[in-house]
Amino acid sequence: MKLVWTKELSAGNAVIDSDHKNLIAVVNGIERAIRARDYSVISQAFELLEGWLCVHFANEEKIARAVKFDFSKHKRAQQYSLKELQCLRNELVGKKGIWCESAIEHYAHFLRRWMTEHIVKIDMPMKPMLQTLDYKFWPGWKEGETNYAAGHVASLYLQLSTHQCHAPPRLMDSAMPEFS
């Protein structure tokens, strides 16, 4: 079942909402690859997801700091998310497309739940602060500088593509169930 972004998932900021829409599209692509048992695409799709998460997490941190939102718990949750997704990717790629229907449902449900919980539980606490600002708020943005946020995102994406943005190392602190 495809994950769909709705207004109810809006964090109250155009950059964060745009990031979430992109992340949802990538998660949906991973789910399609899982259902097709296409493990070669899964690895690339998870790399894309991790890359978008680096960009998204940097955007959130920049915005949170600008609105003086306590980001310490948020940052720990982000690091944990990357670890969880890396474990899932490694497990799926290691199985080389050999998994049963119940495993497909398990992985697909996990990804949808993870994405939804990230938005609802991790990002929504910032929404009241963000709603006091213009929806297009970006730290340092001034009237007439419409490309500031886009330039920042492009810069982060360039860092990612040149491997200057790294996800934390994989730690196996919660094992996923084995399926055959």
Reply yes or no on whether the pLDDT at 164 is more than 50.
no
Task: Please give the pLDDT value at position 40.
Answer: 81
Are 99 and 179 in contact by the 8 Å Cβ rule? The answer is yes
Q: Please state, rounded to an integer, the average pLDDT across all residues of the chain.
A: 78
Is residue 104 in a domain? yes
Tell which residue, 2, 4, 1, 7, has the closest CA to residue 124: 7
Is residue 8 in a domain? no
Reply yes or no on whether the pLDDT at 174 is more than 70.
no
Is residue 5 in a domain? no
Is residue 3 in a domain? no
Task: Please give the pLDDT value at position 19.
Answer: 94
Which pLDDT band holds residue 166 (cuts at 50, 70, 90)?
very low
Is residue 90 in a domain? yes
Domain containing residue 127: 13-138+146-161
Is residue 32 in a domain? yes
Distance between CA atoms of 77 and 85, rounded to whole angstroms? Answer: 12
Higher pLDDT, 42 or 15: 15
Reply yes or no on whether the pLDDT at 7 is more than 90.
yes
Question: How confident is the model over 36-93, as pLDDT tens digits?
Answer: 888 788 888 888 888 888 899 899 999 999 999 888 877 888 888 888 888 888 888 8
The CATH number of whichever domain residue 84 belongs to comes to 1.20.120.50
Task: Please give the pLDDT value at position 178.
Answer: 33
Buried b (16+ CB within 10 A) or exposed e, 43-77: eebbebbbbbbbbbbbbbebbbeebebebeebeee
Total tally of structural domains belonging to the chain: 1
Reply yes or no on whether the pLDDT at 168 is more than 60.
no
